[in-house]
Chain A
Amino acid sequence: MGALVAASVAICILCLQFGATRVDLATLLVVAKQWLGLGSVEGDGGGTAAIIMMHIRLPRVLMGFVVGGSLAAVGVTLQALLRNPLADPYVLGVSSGAALGAALAMLLGIGASMMLLPVLPLCGFAGGLLALLLIYRLAQSQGRLPVHSLLLAGVILNAILTALIMFITSIMEPNRSAGLMAWLMGSLTAPGYPALGVLVGYAVLVLAIVMHKAHALNVLTLGEETARSLGIETERIKKQLFVLTALLTGAVVSVSGMIGFVGMVVPHAVRLVVGSDHRLLLPASALVGGMFLVISDTIARTILAPAEIPVGIVTALAGGPFFLYLLLWRKDRML
């Protein structure tokens, strides 16, 4: 775990250097010293680098890390709750719900300006939670929640929500719909520090509570009745964790759109290395998810520099084939 934390910091520092303009490690150190009050700006180069660093690149890398980590942790949690290694906020339609909420806000012009940025996450929460409540109602029968109905409900809900998002896109003015499409494909921006703070707050809060349930998640994977026979109140813990994951998904989607595959592929890969114990799997997946997205985003903003491509495309192109490989390699025992 210590090694993973060190690797995360190293990856972030490495990725800070790359972008439309290259900032080397020496300059990075100067900026860091200056920020810590240990030195002063040396010439114009240092000044520009400092602005790029502190206002654009650092917040973006940090956001990438938090978004990636959150997606991976949400994926792990949903997989355990549903006893399905394919579960993911996207499969369940929670992301689509959050995206629809945010897209509606954009259509109504609420979220169009940067000034109103905090509105978007709220609409994302609302959309994600509504999707989740709907799916919960749909899948609930006989007072309990059969896993298959839930997944099926997720697939259908996803189709409906995607259609609604497409509808919103189609009636928007072309220039705004282009922006919406780019966001839907999953893209990171440089957030202001208050927005970043809010996101970090949600991530830390949700992760702390989910970690507290890590051992119960292990037991839940034994199956619902066995978990209940071991003294777990499965319905209650499921409800709690579904709501928490919806909250975090809403927050993440509203700032970064639909970044797929992180919540599915990262936990798979991490499981191969650290095993399935959620006390280890959860934090390890969060760190690896963070690193994965920071690297993906660095590729997204450098490969066609100065132009950027949506990071969702990079994660899908990197994660999709890897996922197929996992499917082929492990199909006998996992699925």
Chain B
Amino acid sequence: MQADRVSFRYRTDQAGRPWTVEDLSFNVQAGEVLGIVGPNGSGKSSLLKLLAGLLRPSSGQIRLGSQSIGHIDPHLLARSIAVVPQEYVQVFPFTVAETVLMGRFPHRRGSWWGIGIGEESEHDLRQAHQAMVETDVVALAGRLVSDLSGGERQRVMIARALAQEPTILLLDEPMAFLDINHQIEICALIRRLQRERQLTVVLVSHDLNVASQSCDRVMMLKDGRIVQIGSPMETITPESLRAVYGCDVVVDAHPYSGRPRVTMPV
């Protein structure tokens, strides 16, 4: 996946206003975990939506292979790219199994009736079950999504995304509202999926330590522009953090992983 001079703003009529993201060019390499970090309002989430095809670039283009994602049929795109949103509030009482099976939607383009009311095929059920095994939510299958804890719900949403059989998984703040035990769980899950499914993962996080620990590469945004992109060692430095956040922090090495660890100076 490749972004080529992508710029975007929400209102096209505000010619004088700053861009939400401006002139971004980068590659997402197959099989890597890429983290997007930056302060609030730096364009992280907008960039993720651009990659997902949910927003159209005002200029430039995002390519998947050789095709611009704007030209790919939404159903076909959904078979390659799956998105896990930041927050998920289910208004209606769907069970976990039903919710995960919804991830099969882009694959159900058979008969006229098959799209609307047909039962799931054997293959759909197998894929959904596999996704639930990988995210360890099989035991929750019959529960209502609205009754789950934050961590369980996040695993269900990842299972739903995996049921799409994507090659690229986009996660918006996957650990934002989770307790530390669930953060560890999701972090390990992302790593495992990258390894076992050869998934390409792009995740947005406001938490620098999450990005440092879980990503192969980190992209640091400020005011819609790329300040740094590279390995956590290269990007998460006191200098770059001062440039982006305008404050001094302590960066040392994590005792186990050796990756940069960011803490407050006082």
Contact = CB atoms under 8 A, between A and B. Distances in A.
A24 B83 CA distance: 61
A220 to B, nearest CB: 10
Interface in A279-331: 279
A214 B78 contact: no
A271 B74 contact: no
B168 to A, nearest CB: 11
Interface residues of B, number: 43
B106 interface: yes
Interface in B94-117: 94-95, 98-99, 102-103, 105-106, 108, 112-113, 115-117
Interface stretch (A56-64, A184-192, A221-229): A221-229
Contacts of B115: 212, 215-216
Nearest to A278: B117
Contacts of A3: none
A230 B78 contact: yes
A162 B115 CA distance: 40
B188 interface: no
Contact of A84 (B82, B91, B144, B147): B91
Contact of B93 (A79, A226, A233, A271): A271
B39 to A, nearest CB: 23
B105 A231 contact: yes
Contact of A230 (B49, B94, B102, B116): B102
The residue among B11, B94, B117, B118 with the most chain A CB atoms within 10 A of its own CB is B117
Contacts of B79: 231
A276 B112 CA distance: 22
The residue among A80, A211, A225 with the most chain B CB atoms within 10 A of its own CB is A225
Nearest to B74: A231
B97 to A, nearest CB: 10
A190 B177 CA distance: 58
B116 A216 contact: yes
B52 interface: yes
A221 B116 contact: no
B90 interface: yes
B117 A223 contact: no
A143 to B, nearest CB: 10
B102 A218 contact: yes
The residue among A79, A226, A279 with the most chain B CB atoms within 10 A of its own CB is A226
B92 interface: yes
Interface in B47-72: 49, 52-54
A156 B83 CA distance: 36
B150 interface: no
A122 interface: no
Interface in A181-214: 211-214
A233 B117 contact: no
Given A222-B102, A333-B146, A231 B117 contact: no
27 contacts: A83-B91, A211-B116, A211-B117, A212-B117, A215-B116, A215-B118, A219-B102, A219-B105, A221-B91, A222-B102, A223-B85, A225-B54, A225-B85, A228-B54, A229-B78, A229-B82, A229-B83, A230-B78, A230-B103, A231-B74, A233-B74, A275-B93, A275-B94, A276-B93, A276-B98, A279-B117, A333-B147
Given A228-B74, A271-B93, 9 more contacts: A215-B105, A221-B92, A222-B88, A222-B102, A226-B88, A229-B52, A229-B81, A276-B92, A277-B94
Interface of A: 79-80, 83-85, 142, 211-216, 218-219, 221-223, 225-226, 228-233, 271, 275-277, 279, 333-334
Leading 6 A-B pairs by shortest Cβ distance:
A231-B78, A231-B75, A212-B116, A229-B83, A276-B92, A231-B74
